[in-house]
Structure 1
Amino acid sequence: MKPIWKWIIGIVVVLIAAVFVVGWYYSRNWKPIVEIKLKETVSKSTNGLYTLKYDDLDLNITLGNATLKNAELTPDSAVYNRMVLAKEAPNSRYHIKLAALKIRRFNIWDVIKNRKLYIKDIIFESPDIHMISERHAYNDTIQPKQTKTLYDNIKDVFSSINVRDINIDNVKFKFSKIEEGKTSDIVLDSIGIKVHDILVDQASIHDTTRLFYTKMVEVEVPKFEYDLSNGIYKAKFDRLLLNTQDQNVLLTKVEYAPKMSKAAYFKAKNQNVTMAVMKFDTLRFEKLDFKELIDNQQTIAEQVQIKNGSVSLYNDKRYPTKSSSKIGKGPQQQLMKVKQLIRIDTVFVENVDVLYGEYSAKFNKEGVITFDNARGTLTNVTNDSTVLAKDKFMRANLQAKIMNAGLLKIQFGFDMLSKDGYHTYKGSLGRMQAPAFNKILTPLLNAQIESGNIRGISFNYQANDYRNWGDFRFDYDHLKLNLMNAVDPGMSKTKKGALSFVVNNILINDSNPDANEKYHVGKVNYKRVPQHTFFKTIWQSMLDGIKQCAGISKEREAKLMGAAETGKEVVEETKGVIKKTGNFIKGLFKKKDKGEKEEDKKN
């Protein structure tokens, strides 16, 4: 070997030895300094709310590695209570435990020379995170004080900190919400979190492409199930994916349903309270503002997609109904009452089946009406007064196949700022056969539509908390009813035939235009029963239009009664038949509650 190579090898060996000696020195002498600075920084940056403790700090400056073993970040309850009294406490606090916190590949020379810290990877081992949420009203009303940024807290030590990747796998996460002195918990296992490109320097806080100094945060949550506080319902999903860079949240196999059967639900409630079952294959938020969601619990998104699912609602008339006013409880009014701000530009609904089922106390059967393959959009879904000042209407444009037959199209317009719940709705129903409605008619009224061809329906209504008014058009022909045992199960076959004849040939027009080629238009001015829900009021307004188009008016009933009174031989029989027919029609088209019956007595 030539002498020159000996010198080169010798120099390299000396340099390597020098690096190790310096590394060893700094590892031994920097360790207590780093420990003090680390704990001091945590306490200072959180105003004393948090303390950091750990079993050991393994610092290898030569390799650029550091490991905190059995680390724990703990909130101080005494400090938090003082902050609450001073109206400075945050809504959320955290208790975090780690088997190990590993920092890999940092450059000590860059720290010494330029005060810049670059870290290639940070790894969290066996993290256990407990988040406690306790809302304080002053955080919504008091202007926050000017607080120090993360950069302000580190600038005396570092001019910048850059972390390429943070990996947190198999996280155990517990979320505790304290509300009115009561605590509810959600526990999640096996959460995966990835954070990419964290930069803390003088300018990064103002970088709009970053969320809390990060370029991207990915979260994956598998298999979530939660029993709601009422003990009856549960919520669950199969998978949640969150990406802050794309501003998207995806949930799959979402379900909200009782933990029991229909029979057990109504028995437990001992009341006719609507049971809801909702299932969706896909629930997606796009362009969601994560910063506002985290900081202020505000839901701001460009789009929400609800795809491939079902909504089923059930009532059971065998149980008593709690009578209470539904005035001021329309969907738009309920949205305006939500405390947290909601602002969604567009909600897309695709392929959702809607079912309403009702169990009859009289006939012990369940009738159902379905709206299949519902799809459409809701726009300007918000309770944000600043947005509503520019456009006060929330709109819904929906369509579905009613009874999987006729195509129903409907458009809603909700005046979100109206004090009396003003809204509009208009739409149409395409061709279908009327007997399709027997699925709800027969179980609830023990009657059938034998035949009937619906050529089309169109309607245009305005409404508020007290009235629905507008035009209703109903084109049909060959309508024929079979009353079965609807009026009196003990009635003879002959009388049933006579009653059906009166209904089909006298009381109801079998077509519109009728036999005299007169076209009937429903001029609806329906007074709302306060105990009726928003959607039941719409249904009753529709039925009022159907009755008018079918020729079932109060005047016509009065004339029929007058004609019956003039007869001599059949007066009592005809009068009885017509009276029973009238009662049947009321049951067929409008099931009245106590409030309506009292109103009829007054009239």
Structure 2
Amino acid sequence: MKAVWKWIIGIFVILLIVLGGVVWYFSVHWKPIVDQKFREIVLASTDSLYTVDYDDLDINLALGNVTISNLVLRSDSNVYARLEGINKAPDNRFQIEVAKLKFRNFSIRDMLLNKELYLKNVVLDTPSVHMINKYHSYNDTASTEKSKPLYDKIKNTLKRIRITGIDLNKVNFKYSQIQKSIYQDFEIKKVNIQIQDVLVDSTSISDATRFYHTKMVDIEVPAFTYRTPDGFYKVDFDQLKINTRNRNIMLTKVAYQPILGKSAYYKAKGKGGSYVVMKFDTVRFESFDFNSLLRNKKIYAAKAQLKNGLLDIYSDKHYKSTPVNKVGRSPHQALMHMKTQLAIDTVLVQNADISYSELSDKYNQVGKITFDKSYATISNMTNDVSSLAKNKWMRVDVLTKVMNSGRLHVLFGFDMTSKTGFHTYKGTVGAMQAPAFNKILKPLLNVELASGNIKKIAFDMEATDHRNWGKFNFDYDDLKITILEKKEDGTVKRKGFISLLVNELLVNGSNPNLSGEYIIGKVNWHRHADHTFFKTLWQSLLDGIKQCVGLSKEREAKLMRTADRAQHTVEKANTVVGKTKSFVSKLFKKKKGDEESKVAE
């Protein structure tokens, strides 16, 4: 028995030595063949733009494993220059470095004899990807030459490639943009990418269930910060997740905000403008069309969701801006002017606090208006001409609380195909107390609402680039205005007599008024070219408010003449009337040369 076992063990050992020798022989002698095929695939699939180099290629035929050390994939500058010369160079090119590239369960026999490549797993350890973007205007227009699918580029070398999974661990990504020889960079580090079920053959490109030959690409990007080219703002997020199988994109803790504090910001810019802070806890896209983005640079999604946000706009009126013609720059017109084609069926903004604050150059105080707990639904948000041929209207439904008090509900309708920027807006404001607006009136105009019970506001408006018109209803009672005067020591004094004149001569204390007459504002506001969309909207609604409280131009002129005739009963009546006129002007208009609204923009 002992002799038999010796023979069995001896034969087994000899077989292992022979098998090991065969594996070693083919690993050594097939290595140049695999090396050549690998380089041919890279050249063929990239139209000779890219070449590959590495330090070592280790092949284990017994396990079907291949490991490549210190791999570098780089673009050939001479080939790229030639492509630029014939207007065929891509805007983006890459340099990729990988410390270890591992192929598992790799059949060399199938690749060489059957021209088929099967892999169970591919692992890239700590790869570094450098993407260089250089703009070429000819890539903006549709090419008459149809781009060759990946399979057509490799079919002479391989008939089929199938990979079960690809893992890219802790990818360092750098993006460089070249504009007129000026380089701008940003980097993302430690990105994890998982790719499942890769198939490249004659049918995979037309498989609607695949995203560029894959069944799923899952990407996780950690905390990231990008500074805008002007150096004044930055964009942050805590995490970005992309999943092509579930067709969603999600960002958390997204922020767009200035790098400098308010005073330093305006001092550095040296001119006026808005200081904007925008934040959202979550930004999510659902049913995102990744294939349209990849193939046609189009952004299509069924739904976008922005949750728990903040939009804070601040303006320092000590700094002035040069007037700019803003006609044709309304939100829906800006969307139509975008170079990127966009189509999102529904956009939901959920629980956002919106505020506008302004530092007065005259009183050196900050006035603020807020729209709290805001919700909005935007439907048919698109600049796709084919979609707009079926439905030309983008609708916006907004629900919020003004000064955290009155319930404001507004419905916007934007005709996306209108050459004159036609749009509509109608809405209501629920019951609230007028003194809530003192947070913006007192610091900016040095007046306050002593009392006022707003029962309801309703408006129904139409507008174009040059005019807003419609009906304005304002139901209220017990409206009293107090004019203030800031003294040199910083204290505030009430101007009782001028306040009395304003309340008795100019302002209706209620609507209906004491005579039982109900006044409806008939708005016909002509836009100033340098006023923004939102300032024009506010000025139009303000015109309706003025009419309802009795401050129409005709009535104001009549009351001024009545006050003039009563000069002999009031000492220095001309001065008083003049101050009253001045107050009215300050309350409802800005002084000549100012560019921003005193209340909101």
TM-score over 0.5 for the pair: yes
**1:261 and 2:261 aligned:** yes
The alignment's TM-score, normalised by the length of structure 1, stands at 0.93
Contact kept? 2:162, 2:198, Cα under 8 Å: yes
Once residues 541 and 528 of structure 1 are traced to their aligned partners in structure 2, the CA distance between those partners, rounded to angstroms, is 9
Contact kept? 2:104, 2:122, Cα under 8 Å: yes
List runs of 5+ in structure 1 lacking aligned partners.
Answer: 597-603
Report the CA distance between 1:534 and its aligned residue: 0.7
Once residues 426 and 7 of structure 1 are traced to their aligned partners in structure 2, the CA distance between those partners, rounded to angstroms, is 97
Contact kept? 2:310, 2:352, Cα under 8 Å: yes
Of 202-211 and 429-438, deviating more is: 202-211
- Structure 1's 558 and 440: CA in aligned 2 closer, same or farther, altered over 3 A? same
Q: What's the C-alpha RMSD, in Å, of the aligned pairs?
A: 2.5
Once residues 5 and 107 of structure 1 are traced to their aligned partners in structure 2, the CA distance between those partners, rounded to angstroms, is 35
Aligned partner of 1:593 in structure 2 is: 592
Aligned partner of 2:231 in structure 1 is: 231
Matched AA of 1:550: V
Q: Secondary structure at the match of 1:391?
A: coil
Contact kept? 2:130, 2:175, Cα under 8 Å: yes
Aligned partner of 2:558 in structure 1 is: 559
Report the CA distance between 1:5 and its aligned residue: 9.3
Q: Secondary structure at the match of 2:379?
A: strand
Q: Secondary structure at the match of 1:413?
A: strand
Aligned partner of 2:219 in structure 1 is: 219
Matched AA of 2:558: K
Aligned partner of 1:352 in structure 2 is: 352
- Structure 1's 120 and 144: CA in aligned 2 closer, same or farther, altered over 3 A? farther
Report the CA distance between 1:477 and its aligned residue: 0.6
The alignment's TM-score, normalised by the length of structure 2, stands at 0.94
Work out the number of aligned pairs and report it: 595
Contact kept? 1:565, 1:571, Cα under 8 Å: no
1:43-62 → structure 2 map (5 Å cutoff): 43-62=43-62
Matched AA of 1:289: D
Identity in percent:
49
**1:547 and 2:546 aligned:** yes
Please give the per-residue CA displacement for 1:337-391, whole angstroms capped at 9, x wherever unaligned.
Answer: 1111111111100001001001111111000000001102111111111211221
Aligned partner of 2:27 in structure 1 is: 27
Once residues 158 and 61 of structure 1 are traced to their aligned partners in structure 2, the CA distance between those partners, rounded to angstroms, is 20
Contact kept? 1:560, 1:578, Cα under 8 Å: no
Contact kept? 1:353, 1:374, Cα under 8 Å: yes
Aligned partner of 1:526 in structure 2 is: 525
1:199-214 → structure 2 map (5 Å cutoff): 199-214=199-214
Once residues 323 and 487 of structure 1 are traced to their aligned partners in structure 2, the CA distance between those partners, rounded to angstroms, is 33
Matched AA of 1:510: G
Report the CA distance between 1:9 and its aligned residue: 7.5
Once residues 92 and 461 of structure 2 are traced to their aligned partners in structure 1, the CA distance between those partners, rounded to angstroms, is 47
**1:402 and 2:402 aligned:** yes
Aligned partner of 2:473 in structure 1 is: 473
Once residues 144 and 36 of structure 2 are traced to their aligned partners in structure 1, the CA distance between those partners, rounded to angstroms, is 30
Contact kept? 2:487, 2:493, Cα under 8 Å: no
Of 302-311 and 42-51, deviating more is: 42-51
Q: Secondary structure at the match of 1:485?
A: strand
- Structure 1's 20 and 455: CA in aligned 2 closer, same or farther, altered over 3 A? same
Once residues 189 and 311 of structure 2 are traced to their aligned partners in structure 1, the CA distance between those partners, rounded to angstroms, is 29
Once residues 360 and 55 of structure 2 are traced to their aligned partners in structure 1, the CA distance between those partners, rounded to angstroms, is 68
Please give the per-residue CA displacement for 1:523-549, whole angstroms capped at 9, x wherever unaligned.
Answer: 000111111111011111111000101
Once residues 161 and 11 of structure 1 are traced to their aligned partners in structure 2, the CA distance between those partners, rounded to angstroms, is 39
Matched AA of 2:121: D
Q: Secondary structure at the match of 1:569?
A: helix
Please give the per-residue CA displacement for 1:256-306, whole angstroms capped at 9, x wherever unaligned.
Answer: 111111111111112111111111111111122223323443221111111
Once residues 109 and 244 of structure 1 are traced to their aligned partners in structure 2, the CA distance between those partners, rounded to angstroms, is 33
Once residues 260 and 539 of structure 1 are traced to their aligned partners in structure 2, the CA distance between those partners, rounded to angstroms, is 30
Of 120-129 and 144-153, deviating more is: 144-153
Aligned partner of 1:392 in structure 2 is: 392
Aligned partner of 2:599 in structure 1 is: none
Once residues 239 and 103 of structure 1 are traced to their aligned partners in structure 2, the CA distance between those partners, rounded to angstroms, is 30
Once residues 66 and 275 of structure 2 are traced to their aligned partners in structure 1, the CA distance between those partners, rounded to angstroms, is 56
Aligned partner of 1:79 in structure 2 is: 79
Once residues 274 and 429 of structure 2 are traced to their aligned partners in structure 1, the CA distance between those partners, rounded to angstroms, is 27
Aligned partner of 1:324 in structure 2 is: 324
Of 99-108 and 50-59, deviating more is: 99-108
Contact kept? 2:567, 2:573, Cα under 8 Å: no
Aligned partner of 2:598 in structure 1 is: none
Please give the per-residue CA displacement for 1:182-233, whole angstroms capped at 9, x wherever unaligned.
Answer: 3221111111111111111221111111111111111111110111110111
Once residues 133 and 296 of structure 2 are traced to their aligned partners in structure 1, the CA distance between those partners, rounded to angstroms, is 12
Once residues 14 and 152 of structure 1 are traced to their aligned partners in structure 2, the CA distance between those partners, rounded to angstroms, is 47
Once residues 17 and 200 of structure 1 are traced to their aligned partners in structure 2, the CA distance between those partners, rounded to angstroms, is 38
Once residues 457 and 234 of structure 2 are traced to their aligned partners in structure 1, the CA distance between those partners, rounded to angstroms, is 39
- Structure 1's 272 and 403: CA in aligned 2 closer, same or farther, altered over 3 A? same
Matched AA of 2:565: T
Of 131-140 and 315-324, deviating more is: 131-140
Contact kept? 1:318, 1:361, Cα under 8 Å: yes
Once residues 136 and 206 of structure 2 are traced to their aligned partners in structure 1, the CA distance between those partners, rounded to angstroms, is 27
Once residues 347 and 570 of structure 1 are traced to their aligned partners in structure 2, the CA distance between those partners, rounded to angstroms, is 63
1:472-551 → structure 2 map (5 Å cutoff): 472-485=472-485, 496-551=495-550
Aligned partner of 2:422 in structure 1 is: 422
Report the CA distance between 1:144 and its aligned residue: 4.8
- Structure 1's 544 and 568: CA in aligned 2 closer, same or farther, altered over 3 A? closer
Please give the per-residue CA displacement for 1:299-346, whole angstroms capped at 9, x wherever unaligned.
Answer: 211111111010011111111222121111111111111111111111
Report the CA distance between 1:14 and its aligned residue: 6.6
Once residues 244 and 269 of structure 2 are traced to their aligned partners in structure 1, the CA distance between those partners, rounded to angstroms, is 42
Q: Secondary structure at the match of 2:568?
A: coil
1:43-442 → structure 2 map (5 Å cutoff): 43-111=43-111, 114-442=114-442
Once residues 110 and 2 of structure 2 are traced to their aligned partners in structure 1, the CA distance between those partners, rounded to angstroms, is 36
- Structure 1's 581 and 489: CA in aligned 2 closer, same or farther, altered over 3 A? farther
Once residues 52 and 170 of structure 2 are traced to their aligned partners in structure 1, the CA distance between those partners, rounded to angstroms, is 22
Once residues 330 and 420 of structure 1 are traced to their aligned partners in structure 2, the CA distance between those partners, rounded to angstroms, is 11
Contact kept? 1:75, 1:94, Cα under 8 Å: yes
Matched AA of 2:248: N
Report the CA distance between 1:592 and its aligned residue: 4.4
Once residues 135 and 393 of structure 2 are traced to their aligned partners in structure 1, the CA distance between those partners, rounded to angstroms, is 31
List runs of 5+ in structure 2 lacking aligned partners.
Answer: 596-601
Once residues 339 and 151 of structure 2 are traced to their aligned partners in structure 1, the CA distance between those partners, rounded to angstroms, is 33
Contact kept? 1:447, 1:486, Cα under 8 Å: no
Matched AA of 2:482: N
Matched AA of 1:523: K
Once residues 554 and 154 of structure 1 are traced to their aligned partners in structure 2, the CA distance between those partners, rounded to angstroms, is 78
Contact kept? 2:239, 2:253, Cα under 8 Å: yes
Once residues 568 and 409 of structure 1 are traced to their aligned partners in structure 2, the CA distance between those partners, rounded to angstroms, is 46
Of 570-579 and 172-181, deviating more is: 570-579
Contact kept? 1:106, 1:118, Cα under 8 Å: yes
Once residues 86 and 409 of structure 1 are traced to their aligned partners in structure 2, the CA distance between those partners, rounded to angstroms, is 56
Q: Secondary structure at the match of 1:59?
A: strand
Once residues 350 and 147 of structure 1 are traced to their aligned partners in structure 2, the CA distance between those partners, rounded to angstroms, is 42
Once residues 61 and 493 of structure 2 are traced to their aligned partners in structure 1, the CA distance between those partners, rounded to angstroms, is 100
Matched AA of 2:134: E
